């Protein structure tokens, strides 16, 4: 039981470091850029004859490449893209 508790505390510490890093690195500018790129990708790959999944994959890959090109780490870029997609879906649902 004691080993489990220590592991749990250590894992909580690691998660805290990850969340602190994301909080520091996920700036409003990066989120705005991701939102802009996702919207642009939506227009670029609108009716390209692909299945919806293939179209979404192309959009995400394109936006991810653009974010990485300006120096955003891949993990953070993926999180920003997913956040932007979620924001767009929430607006459409409203």
pLDDT of 16-75, one tens digit each?
A: 888 787 777 788 898 899 999 999 998 887 766 788 888 889 999 999 999 999 999 999
Residues with Cβ < 8 Å from 15, sequence gap 6 or more? none
* Cβ contact 63:35 at 8 Å: no
Specify the pLDDT at position 21: 78
Give the confidence band of 81 by pLDDT, cuts at 50, 70, 90: very high
Q: What is the pTM of this model?
A: 0.74
Reported as type and span, the H/E element at residue 69 is: helix 52-69
Residue 21, CA distances (Å) to 61, 80, 94 in order: 23, 14, 31
Q: Please state, in angstroms and rounded to a whole number, the distance separating the CA atoms of residues 28 and 22.
A: 12
């Amino acid at each position: 039981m004691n080993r489990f508790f220590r592991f749990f505390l250590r894992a909580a510490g690691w998660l805290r470091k990850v969340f602190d890093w994301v909080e520091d690195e996920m700036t409003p500018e990066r989120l705005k850029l991701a939102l802009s790129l996702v919207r642009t990708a939506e227009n670029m790959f609108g009716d390209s004859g692909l299945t919806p999944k293939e179209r979404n994959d192309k959009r995400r890959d394109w936006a991810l490449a653009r974010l990485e090109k300006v120096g955003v780490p891949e993990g953070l870029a993926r999180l920003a893209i997913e956040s932007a997609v979620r924001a767009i879906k929430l607006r459409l649902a409203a």
